[in-house]
Amino acid sequence: MGTTQTKLRALLADIFSYLHANPEVSWKEYKTTKYIKGLLEDKGCRIQTFGKTPGLVVEIGSGEPVVAIRADIDALWQEVDGEFKANHSCGHDAHMTIVLGVLFTLLEDGIPDHGTFRFIFQPAEEKGDGALTLVGKGVADELDYLYGLHLRPIQELRHGQFSPAIRHGASWSVDGVITGEDAHGARPHLNANAIQIGSEFFQHLNNIYLDPMIPHSVKMTSFHAGGDSTNIIPGNATFSLDMRTQTNEAMEELMGKVERIAKMLSDYHEVEIDLSIRSSVAAAVINMEASKIMEEAIIDTVGIKHLVPMITTTGGDDFHFYTIKKPHLKATMLAVGCDLEPGLHHPNMMFNHDAIEPSVKIIVKALMKTVEKHHSQGVSN
């Protein structure tokens, strides 16, 4: 192994160790932003930050095409060993490490004479609105291509396997509020029990049917009603729903059915039931040209035996808002097999760190192929 490659591997190990040990939840990624900026301030990069909004954009190179790679930078807030804390259980610490590895590789090997490379370190993917916020700040302006990446659970890919595209589904988080009146426990006829209404809502959710050829689900993931006084029948409650479908059209249909359930129960029990969308992530819009480039990069880097065709997953990612808001953008996400267990968002998620280095090489190869393809098309035209 060459000295440069050894140094890069050691650097990436240090970067991952820091990021993993210092997770920050969505919209609070200020130390993460400062850390990444500090790594790059003396490297001759163009760095853009956003004031009170965490995250940053780093650029190198010049001219066309403008090719971007996005890393999500936030952690989850969850219970780990009995304590609620920020936790990188979705692999965003690895995503940042890999994207920084790509940047350092380009700086070390030499930036191509033509082509602008934009590195987007995006906050709040877990909230579903980080991408939209950065699009509003212009980070997708002038982009021709956009690449992302995501570690995949062992159920989808084994270590050493890579896929050139991830067909994510749509994912919505919906909050509900039941507003009624409390009553004495001895007089249940004087109010509508919010817990009973919640139970009925739950049962009706299980009776929703969409096209069985389109994966979909809706679950009640939280419900809160009542207090310390157990002789009071609560009239008020709050709840949350997790909704997932493989297409954006199916999500609209699913939401319509949920709204009809709310109206039916509201009318029957004479209470108010209000629904609000806390976050919404769109289903994937994958560009075949970008996916083909990533496929070729996988084959050239690790060999065809490690290539897995486009994978479909019920998970969601706000990465796809970039292409929805910028339809001309050619985008795809690299799926990284790394024997990730027990699963994404599990508090004790683990993965094989040996997947980091080949992921860096694949994305570097994809960026180089993108520039070459763009200019060869320009010559032929």
Assess whether 243 and 323 both reside in one domain: no
Assess whether 226 and 108 both reside in one domain: no
Q: What CATH code is carried by the domain that includes residue 38?
A: 3.40.630.10
Distance in angstroms (rounded) separating the CA atoms of residues 258 and 136: 30
- Domain stop point among 247, 281, 315: 281
Assess whether 306 and 348 both reside in one domain: yes
Assess whether 17 and 159 both reside in one domain: yes
pTM of the model: 0.87
Assess whether 16 and 163 both reside in one domain: yes
Is the Cβ–Cβ distance between 156 and 340 less than 8 Å? no
Q: Considering the chain, what percentage of its residues have pLDDT values greater than 90?
A: 92
Q: What CATH code is carried by the domain that includes residue 206?
A: 3.30.70.360
Give residue 191's domain range: 170-281
Per the structure, how many domains does the chain have?
2
Is the Cβ–Cβ distance between 104 and 182 less than 8 Å? no
Assess whether 346 and 305 both reside in one domain: yes
Assess whether 269 and 333 both reside in one domain: no
- Domain stop point among 264, 281, 298: 281
Q: Output the pLDDT for position 2.
A: 65
* Listed residue (179, 208, 162, 182) closest to 360, CA to CA: 162
Residues whose CB falls within 8 Å of the CB of residue 274, separated by 6 or more in sequence, listed in order? 176, 177, 179, 262
- Domain stop point among 254, 281, 308: 281
Average of per-residue pLDDT values in the chain: 96
Q: Output the pLDDT for position 303.
A: 98
Assess whether 99 and 163 both reside in one domain: yes
Least confident of 48-52, 90-94, 110-114: 110-114
Assess whether 27 and 155 both reside in one domain: yes
